[in-house]
Structure formats: structure tokens, C-alpha cells
Chains A and B, each alone.
Chain A
Amino acid sequence: MAQHTLEVIVENSPGVLARVAGLFSRRAYNIERLSVGPTANPETSKMQIVVNLDGHALEQVIAQLDKLINVIAIKEILQESAQPTVHDTQPDYQN
């Protein structure tokens, strides 16, 4: 799996880091690396999130992140070795 870097612009409000981290945790995705910093606009912050996900799983993470009300924009920072997206084998439930 290739590493992907997401740049996420969020509202600079209390609890926003917990919302993002909690989303990754409860949907069983790993964060490889995370940094949070200011932007020129004091009302927003920028998160850089590195994930080890491809295809379907990556699309899901982005779609779910985008549902957080405090998330304003998400873009993927493309790397030179970027792989074309493919659809993963999807999960089966056993309960």
C-alpha cells in the first residue's frame, strides 16, 4: 500500500482534533503521522495526516472526514510515486 498525505483544513475550535482522531479510530483506520498547525486565517487550522490506505478505503476516509462539520476542506497531496486507485476487497460481517 502506498502512503497518502491528506491536507485537511479544519475550524480552529476545541475538540476538533478529537473528532478527527476519533473518526480514524472508530472506523478502524490507522494514522501513520499527524501534524496540526496554524494557517494565515486564525479561525482555521491545517492538519496533515499521513495514512497507509488505498483505493476504496482511502475514498471512505475522505468521505467520512468530509462529513465532520468542523472539516472545511480536504485535499490529497500527490506524491511522485502515486499509484492509480483500485477498489479493495470489501468486508464481510460475521455477527
Chain B
Amino acid sequence: MSQMNGASSLVASLEACGVDVMFGIPGGAILPAYDPIFSSPIRHILVRHEQGAGHAATGYAQVTGRVGVCIATSGPGATNLVTPLADAAMDSVPVVAITGQVPSVAIGTDAFQEADIRGITMPFTKHNYLITDPAQIPRAIAEAFHIASTGRPGPVLVDIAKDALQKMTDFEFPTSISLKGYQPQAVPNTQSIIDAADLIAQSSKPIFYVGGGVIKAEASRELLELAQLLGAPVVTTLMARGAFPDSHPLHLGMPGMHGTVAAVTGLQKADLLITLGARFDDRVTGKLSTFAVNAKVIHADIDPAEIGKNRFADVAVLGDLKHTIAALIPALRSALSKNRPDLTPWLHQMNSLQSAYPLGYDTPKDGALSPQYVIERLGKISGPHAIFAAGVGQHQMWASQFISYENPRTWLNSGGLGTMGYAVPAAMGAKVGAPDTTVWAIDGDGCFQMTNQELVTCALNNIPIKVAIINNESLGMVRQWQTLFYEGRYSNTNLESKRVPNFPMLAEAMGCIGLSCERAEDVDEIIEKAMNINDQPVVVDFRVHRDAMVWPMVAAGTSNDDIMIARETAPDWDSQEL
């Protein structure tokens, strides 16, 4: 135990939690903490906007599996963290946010830069704290890291009054944490594993519905073994891309609104969904009452509230997926030794859908650059170990569709909240977490204009990310919906970003290399050029065709059975045996 002020106690607690980096901006209420930060071994990266700090912490956490940390002052500093915290909650990312608060005597008086950030963030943090007594700081920090990183991961906010940072206290870091109201169950119940294995062994059309939980649980290797043991098809959701190798013959691709015909139809026609760390999101199920109507459901998840939330589970397996899948492998082997259904006709059906309806795109007749081609080449040239962070919209869907993900933690995006502007700061955090790996932000021209200020942070802090702007001078996904559902009335989706801003010049102004490309024959050369710049961030303005659309598509609120492969074109179901 040693005497120090609350601020030093905070920084000592962060060090005790193993924090090596945090992203933030100082201000009045958090200022006392920045004095001990100045002499701490923790690397503090000074961002340009608190939202950037939050998404950077998220990107760092998604790449490393460790807790990402961001720090901001009271009032506007704290409210600028609202979007990334809501984002981290929706995508179950372990993030700890530290905010300064006005002095405890001023709380509730509408003081300068006062905002009730604990109240504001209650709905989308896993838990949060308001600390007014310096003696509580070490325990709050220890609990915050414990809660953020265990069970279903998520963001935790610790708001600390300025006087609690200034007052003297005894620092003593807790050696153990016990929370009466929080005991996540890691090891699944044995009977639930046996029930799941038995149900699988009775199924002739099973499918693995794999969600982001598999990546969080570091269970990709176990999943590969389980899938090969059963020999059933696999789909990976937007949050699970990379959890199972795209090149594997059992992989049907991504399901959902912009999923492959084989993945969407595989879920629809299955007799059993083996659901691993997925949550029956509306973007996957389409109209819920018509989703996989003939399927029984095994739902394995660490969050009890997900089981049965949107879809009844015939067998619920509550636990950490690494334990769950590891236990399921021998149980299934034993169940299959008694009864092994022939999955050949089912696999044959799925393979024929895959070959009849592969992902594809048209090359524009006017010679303009296809956005899908650019993204496909980015994936091929950067290789299977590169990390990709996408924004939200058409480019995000194409980046999910046209890059082959072979490894977990190589695909980062804002799946649940759909946060435009996520890519650049998340890529920054990812590069800090994996400095020796190529990190691309694949961004839209709309998204990029929301958070590109963090390129200054990257340039000044030796964080050489690469940014591919898929510039179709529009809010492309909204424009696509206007094309399809609003008779082509393009209300406020024209960004004119081929005129203004000049992205390469903007990049250069922020200390990056700026490049531009608008012909297919130049794409490879420019990507190679960007790949060879490793001492500075690079931004490439890919000026692409404006009218490209994301297909296939299940329109919002409709059934997955009504998937379209192009405008007014459904798959030819009569030629398929289903």
C-alpha cells in the first residue's frame, strides 16, 4: 500500500491491468490523470476527436483480443465517446472508457462541461461507474476490466470526479474480484452437450450458423475440427468472417441481407441450425416468421439473454464457445458412431447452389472502374494475413463478399450499430495492436469524411495504415435503396466527392501519401505502390462507378425466400432440387 493521489492511483491501476496503450484527449476534468500518464510506461496516443479514440480502442481490441482503452474529459469529451461505446456494445467488444467528471460538489449543478455520462451510457455499456471517492478507483478499474473482458465482452465506462483524482489515497490493487451479480458460466452443462450431439446425429440437413462469438472465444480451430467431423455446410455472419476459412469447401459464405444464395438458402432449407455465437439478427433472418421454418435450433452462446430472444431454441447450450465446441467434438463423435445420417444429398444441393449462384458483378460498359474489382484485388494482393477494417455501406458489403478471409481477427467492421466513420480510427487501433501486419481501411467517400482527421494522428504517431476510399461520390447504400424503393429520387445522397474534397490533397495535408486511381488497368500497380509504403499512412482515392449495387439482396422486412440476385431477378428455383 502506498500514498498517492487518485490520478496516480488510476494510472497505477491501469498499469496493473496490463494496459500498454490508450487513446484519448485531455481536458479540464481529466487533467489530473494526464500528469501521471506523462511519466507512465503506458503509451498514450493523442487523437483528434474522442470518437476516434473509442473506435481505435475497439479496433485494437478486435485485433488483439485484449481490452481496448480510451480516455476523455467530462461533458463533450465524454459524449463524443457515446457512438463508439454503443458500437462496441452492439458488437460485443471489450473496451474500457475512462472519463473525467466535474468535481463531486459540482455534480448536478449544470457546471461547465458537465454531462451525466453514466446516465447517458447506461443503455449501451455492460456496466458503468461514477467514482467520487479516490479509495474506490483501483477496485472500479479492476472490475471494469474483468467485466469488459469476460462473459459476453462489452464496453465499461468509469467516470471519475476531478476531486477524486486530486485527493490523496492509499493505493492497493485488489487481488481478487467477486461480483455477486456477475458470474458468467464458461463451462457448459454436460447434458446440454449430449442433447446437442444427439440432435445433430438425427439431422440430415444440418448447417453451422456461425457468429462473431466464435472469434471472441478464440474457437476457430475447434470449429474447423467440428465442421469437418460432421461434414456439414458452414455459414459465417458479417461479424464472423474469418472464423472459418473462406477457401474451405464446406463454407457457403455469408448469410443475410447481402449474403450468398447458397448461405441464405442453406439456412432457409436446413432441418437443423447449429448456432454458435450468433444472435438471429434481423439482417440475417429477414422476416423472422419465415426464417428457416423447418429447422430445429441448437443455440450455443455465453449470454443467456440471447437464447430464445428472437428464435426458440430446441437445445440451449450456455457457455464459452471454446469449451462448448471442444466438448461437442467427442460427444458428436460418439453420437455419430451410433447413427450417422447421409449428408451427401444435402451437400450436393448446397454445392449446386454455390456453383449456379456464385458472387459476381458486372463490369460497367462505359469503362468506369468497378468497386468490387478494386476490393477483390486489394484482398488478393494483400494476402490472407492482412487486416481489413471497413466503414458502413456498399463498400462494407463488397469487402465482406469479395475478400477471402482465412483467419480470425482479420476482418473488422461495425456490424450491429452500423457506424459510418468506423474504418479509419478502427484501422488505426488495429495497426497499433498489430504493428507488423498490413492494415487496410476500406472506406466509402461518405464514411471517410466523418472521421478522416485521425490520419493526422496516424501520421504523427508512426501508425502507417493504408486507406482505400471507394469513391462513388454518393452515400451509396442509401442511393441503392433510393434506386430500388424510391423510384430513383436521389434525395440528398449526392456527395460530389469526385469534385470536392480532393482526397489525395487532403491526405497529403494530413501528412499521408495521397494516390488516385480510376482505370482498372492501374489498380494492381497502385495497390502494389501503397503496399510498398510502410513509413507513412497512404490514402488511395479509387474513383469508381456510381451505379454499382450490392447483390444478392433480401429487401428489409421481406422473407429470405425472396432473395434477389439482381434487380427484379430471383434465382431460378425450378432448376434447383430443394
B118-A15 in contact (CB<8A): yes
A64, B311: Cα distance in complex, Å: 16
B305-A67 in contact (CB<8A): yes
B179 interface residue per 8 A CB criterion: yes
A79 interface residue per 8 A CB criterion: no
B123-A93 in contact (CB<8A): no
Secondary structure call for the B interface: loop
A87-B312 in contact (CB<8A): yes
Q: Quote the shortest CB–CB distance from A90 to chain B (angstroms).
A: 6
Q: Looking at the complex, which one of B179, B289, B305 makes contact with A63 (CB distance below 8 Å)?
A: B305
A90-B311 in contact (CB<8A): yes
B180-A60 in contact (CB<8A): no
Q: Quote the shortest CB–CB distance from B50 to chain A (angstroms).
A: 23
B103 interface residue per 8 A CB criterion: no
A67, B309: Cα distance in complex, Å: 14
Q: How large is the interface on B (under 10, 10 to 19, 20 to 34, 35 or more residues)?
A: 20 to 34
Contacts of A89 in B (CB 8 A): 289
B127 interface residue per 8 A CB criterion: yes
A1 interface residue per 8 A CB criterion: no
A74, B305: Cα distance in complex, Å: 14
A91 interface residue per 8 A CB criterion: yes
A95, B283: Cα distance in complex, Å: 10
A69 interface residue per 8 A CB criterion: yes
A69-B130 in contact (CB<8A): no
Q: Quote the shortest CB–CB distance from A6 to chain B (angstroms).
A: 15
B38 interface residue per 8 A CB criterion: no
Contact with A along B273-308 (1 / 0, CB 8 A): 000000000100001110000000000000111011
Within 8 A of A (CB), among B546-560: 556-557
A87, B147: Cα distance in complex, Å: 31
Contacts of B557 in A (CB 8 A): 92-95
Q: Quote the shortest CB–CB distance from B415 to chain A (angstroms).
A: 15
B181 interface residue per 8 A CB criterion: yes
Within 8 A of B (CB), among A50-83: 56, 59-60, 63-64, 66-72
Q: Quote the shortest CB–CB distance from B294 to chain A (angstroms).
A: 17
A56, B311: Cα distance in complex, Å: 10
Contacts of B127 in A (CB 8 A): 69
Within 8 A of B (CB), among A10-24: 10-11, 14-15, 18-19, 22
Q: Quote the shortest CB–CB distance from A70 to chain B (angstroms).
A: 6
A11-B181 in contact (CB<8A): yes
Q: Quote the shortest CB–CB distance from A75 to chain B (angstroms).
A: 14
Q: Quote the shortest CB–CB distance from A31 to chain B (angstroms).
A: 16
A26 interface residue per 8 A CB criterion: yes
Contacts of B282 in A (CB 8 A): 93, 95
A90, B119: Cα distance in complex, Å: 30
B126 interface residue per 8 A CB criterion: yes
B305-A64 in contact (CB<8A): yes
A22-B123 in contact (CB<8A): yes
B304-A63 in contact (CB<8A): yes
A60-B308 in contact (CB<8A): yes
Contacts of A59 in B (CB 8 A): 308
Interface residues of A (CB under 8 A from B): 10-11, 14-15, 18-19, 22, 26, 56, 59-60, 63-64, 66-72, 87, 89-95
Q: List 28 A-B contacts (CB under 8 A).
A: A10-B181, A11-B181, A18-B119, A19-B122, A22-B123, A60-B305, A60-B309, A63-B304, A63-B305, A63-B307, A64-B305, A67-B304, A69-B126, A69-B127, A69-B147, A69-B182, A71-B181, A89-B289, A90-B310, A91-B288, A91-B310, A92-B287, A92-B288, A92-B289, A92-B557, A93-B288, A93-B556, A95-B282
